């Protein structure tokens, strides 16, 4: 398993976790906590974007 494969797996896991966390924000937490969950989910997407951009450059 080389570095690009590890980054690809990390990107996929981060996207899946971001979707799960945003789904929790939408369906489970209707109050102010939902906004925090949504912000964390967007942060997971930003991290996944960075990992995806690093593939091939490391």
Secondary structure (3-state) at 56:
coil
How far CA 4 is from CA of 20, 42, 50, 52, in Å, comes to 24, 23, 13, 9
pLDDT recorded at residue 22: 92
pTM: 0.82
Across the chain, how many H-helices and E-strands are there? 2, 0
pLDDT recorded at residue 34: 87
What torsion, rounded to 10 degrees, do the Cα atoms 43, 46, 52, 57 define? -110
pLDDT recorded at residue 54: 84
- Domain borders along the chain are 3-54
Q: 33 is written with which tokens?
A: 């906590």
pLDDT in tens, 10-57: 899 999 999 999 999 989 888 888 899 899 999 999 999 998 888 877
pLDDT recorded at residue 41: 92
């Amino acid at each position: 398993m080389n570095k690009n494969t590890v980054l690809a797996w990390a990107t996929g896991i981060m996207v899946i976790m971001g979707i799960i966390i945003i789904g929790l924000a939408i369906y489970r937490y209707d109050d102010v906590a939902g906004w925090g969950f949504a912000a964390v989910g967007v942060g997971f997407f930003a991290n996944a974007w960075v990992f995806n951009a690093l593939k091939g450059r490391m």
